Protein backbone atom coordinates (compact mmCIF):
# COMPACT_ATOMS: atom_id res chain seq x y z
CA UNK A 1 0.00 0.00 0.00
CA UNK A 2 1.40 3.43 -0.90
CA UNK A 3 2.23 6.07 1.69
CA UNK A 4 -0.32 8.38 0.04
CA UNK A 5 -3.04 5.76 0.42
CA UNK A 6 -2.13 5.16 4.08
CA UNK A 7 -2.13 8.92 4.72
CA UNK A 8 -5.57 9.31 3.15
CA UNK A 9 -6.83 6.29 5.10
CA UNK A 10 -5.64 7.86 8.36
CA UNK A 11 -7.36 11.16 7.55
CA UNK A 12 -10.56 9.39 6.56
CA UNK A 13 -10.64 7.33 9.77
CA UNK A 14 -10.05 10.47 11.87
CA UNK A 15 -12.83 12.36 10.12
CA UNK A 16 -15.27 9.45 10.42
CA UNK A 17 -14.31 8.77 14.06
CA UNK A 18 -15.11 12.43 14.81
CA UNK A 19 -18.40 12.14 12.90
CA UNK A 20 -19.21 9.00 14.92
CA UNK A 21 -18.67 10.90 18.18
CA UNK A 22 -20.72 13.83 16.87
CA UNK A 23 -23.88 11.76 16.65
CA UNK A 24 -23.44 8.77 14.35
CA UNK A 25 -22.42 5.92 16.71
CA UNK A 26 -23.41 3.34 14.11
CA UNK A 27 -20.28 4.26 12.15
CA UNK A 28 -18.34 2.15 14.65
CA UNK A 29 -19.62 -0.93 12.84
CA UNK A 30 -17.65 0.11 9.72
CA UNK A 31 -14.67 1.88 11.30
CA UNK A 32 -13.56 -0.50 14.04
CA UNK A 33 -11.64 -3.74 13.59
CA UNK A 34 -13.04 -7.00 14.96
CA UNK A 35 -10.33 -6.88 17.63
CA UNK A 36 -10.16 -3.45 19.29
CA UNK A 37 -8.22 -2.09 22.28
CA UNK A 38 -9.39 0.93 24.27
CA UNK A 39 -7.01 3.00 26.42
CA UNK A 40 -8.63 5.53 28.75
CA UNK A 41 -7.25 7.76 31.47
CA UNK A 42 -8.06 6.57 34.95
CA UNK A 43 -10.32 6.67 36.78
CA UNK A 44 -12.98 6.01 34.20
CA UNK A 45 -16.47 4.61 34.56
CA UNK A 46 -16.04 2.29 31.57
CA UNK A 47 -13.86 -0.79 31.93
CA UNK A 48 -11.64 -0.84 28.83
CA UNK A 49 -12.01 -4.61 28.58
CA UNK A 50 -15.75 -4.17 27.90
CA UNK A 51 -15.07 -2.22 24.67
CA UNK A 52 -13.40 -4.73 22.34
CA UNK A 53 -15.20 -4.85 18.98
CA UNK A 54 -17.42 -2.77 16.67
CA UNK A 55 -20.76 -3.40 18.50
CA UNK A 56 -19.26 -2.62 21.92
CA UNK A 57 -17.68 0.59 20.57
CA UNK A 58 -21.07 1.64 19.22
CA UNK A 59 -22.71 0.93 22.61
CA UNK A 60 -19.95 2.85 24.42
CA UNK A 61 -20.35 5.91 22.19
CA UNK A 62 -24.15 5.86 22.56
CA UNK A 63 -23.90 5.55 26.36
CA UNK A 64 -21.32 8.32 26.60
CA UNK A 65 -23.30 10.70 24.39
CA UNK A 66 -26.46 10.02 26.43
CA UNK A 67 -24.83 11.74 29.44
CA UNK A 68 -24.95 15.12 27.65
CA UNK A 69 -27.53 17.46 26.20
CA UNK A 70 -24.88 18.54 23.69
CA UNK A 71 -21.55 17.00 22.77
CA UNK A 72 -19.84 18.25 19.63
CA UNK A 73 -16.18 17.75 18.74
CA UNK A 74 -14.05 19.78 16.37
CA UNK A 75 -10.39 19.92 15.49
CA UNK A 76 -8.47 22.73 13.89
CA UNK A 77 -4.93 21.41 14.18
CA UNK A 78 -4.01 18.12 12.58
CA UNK A 79 -4.58 15.33 12.60
CA UNK A 80 -1.09 14.06 12.11
CA UNK A 81 -0.72 10.75 10.28
CA UNK A 82 2.29 8.47 10.72
CA UNK A 83 1.99 6.17 7.71
CA UNK A 84 4.82 3.87 8.82
CA UNK A 85 3.27 3.20 12.23
CA UNK A 86 -0.37 3.34 11.09
CA UNK A 87 -1.21 6.03 13.64
CA UNK A 88 -3.30 9.17 13.38
CA UNK A 89 -3.36 11.64 16.27
CA UNK A 90 -4.36 15.15 17.12
CA UNK A 91 -5.93 17.57 19.56
CA UNK A 92 -9.61 18.40 19.71
CA UNK A 93 -12.02 20.67 21.55
CA UNK A 94 -15.60 19.82 22.40
CA UNK A 95 -18.64 21.97 23.05
CA UNK A 96 -20.31 20.24 26.00
CA UNK A 97 -23.63 20.88 27.73
CA UNK A 98 -24.40 18.68 30.72
CA UNK A 99 -27.14 19.30 33.27
CA UNK A 100 -27.78 22.65 31.60
CA UNK A 101 -24.21 23.86 32.09
CA UNK A 102 -22.07 24.65 29.05
CA UNK A 103 -18.33 24.12 29.09
CA UNK A 104 -15.51 23.50 26.68
CA UNK A 105 -13.47 20.33 26.99
CA UNK A 106 -10.23 19.66 25.17
CA UNK A 107 -8.15 16.59 24.61
CA UNK A 108 -5.82 14.53 22.50
CA UNK A 109 -6.72 11.36 20.63
CA UNK A 110 -4.49 8.71 19.12
CA UNK A 111 -5.88 6.08 16.75
CA UNK A 112 -3.99 3.04 15.51
CA UNK A 113 -5.21 1.58 12.24
CA UNK A 114 -4.47 -1.45 10.13
CA UNK A 115 -6.08 -2.62 6.90
CA UNK A 116 -8.41 0.39 6.89
CA UNK A 117 -9.86 -0.27 10.37
CA UNK A 118 -9.25 1.23 13.78
CA UNK A 119 -7.53 -1.27 16.06
CA UNK A 120 -6.66 0.88 19.10
CA UNK A 121 -7.75 4.18 20.59
CA UNK A 122 -6.18 6.40 23.29
CA UNK A 123 -7.77 9.57 24.61
CA UNK A 124 -7.00 12.23 27.18
CA UNK A 125 -9.61 14.87 28.04
CA UNK A 126 -10.00 17.72 30.48
CA UNK A 127 -12.31 20.74 30.83
CA UNK A 128 -10.60 23.76 29.29
CA UNK A 129 -11.02 25.81 32.48
CA UNK A 130 -8.92 23.24 34.36
CA UNK A 131 -5.89 24.53 32.46
CA UNK A 132 -6.10 27.92 34.13
CA UNK A 133 -5.93 31.47 32.93
CA UNK A 134 -3.97 30.85 29.70
CA UNK A 135 -6.86 28.76 28.39
CA UNK A 136 -9.46 31.45 29.03
CA UNK A 137 -8.86 32.88 25.56
CA UNK A 138 -9.95 29.63 23.89
CA UNK A 139 -13.38 29.71 22.36
CA UNK A 140 -15.54 27.55 20.19
CA UNK A 141 -16.72 28.86 16.87
Give a yes or no: residue 139 inside a domain. no
Give a yes or no: residue 127 inside a domain. yes
d(CA 140, CA 38): 28
Give a yes or no: residue 57 inside a domain. yes
Give a yes or no: residue 55 inside a domain. yes
Tell me the residue range of the domain where 90 lies: 3-132
> Cβ(140)–Cβ(93) under 8 Å?
yes
Instruction: Report the number of distinct structural domains present in the chain.
Output: 1
pTM score above 0.85: yes
Residues whose CB falls within 8 Å of the CB of residue 104, separated by 6 or more in sequence, listed in order: 93, 94, 95, 96, 127, 128, 129, 138, 139, 140
Residue 32 DSSP class: E
CATH number of the domain encompassing residue 17:
3.10.450.50
Give a yes or no: residue 21 inside a domain. yes
Would you say the C-alpha torsion 8, 25, 29, 42 has a positive or negative sign?
A: positive
> Cβ(29)–Cβ(54) under 8 Å?
yes
Give a yes or no: residue 140 inside a domain. no
Expressed in angstroms, the distance from the first to the final Cα of the chain is 37
Give a yes or no: residue 30 inside a domain. yes
Give a yes or no: residue 93 inside a domain. yes
Taking only the tens of pLDDT, the chain with its 141 residues reads 799 999 999 999 999 999 999 999 999 999 999 999 999 886 667 888 899 999 999 999 999 999 999 999 999 888 999 999 999 999 999 999 999 999 999 999 999 999 999 999 999 888 777 665 544 555 554
Amino acid sequence: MSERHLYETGLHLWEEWTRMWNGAPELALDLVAERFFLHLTLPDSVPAESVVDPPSVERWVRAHRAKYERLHFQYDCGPFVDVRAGVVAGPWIADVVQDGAARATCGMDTIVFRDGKITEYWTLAKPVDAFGRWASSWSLR
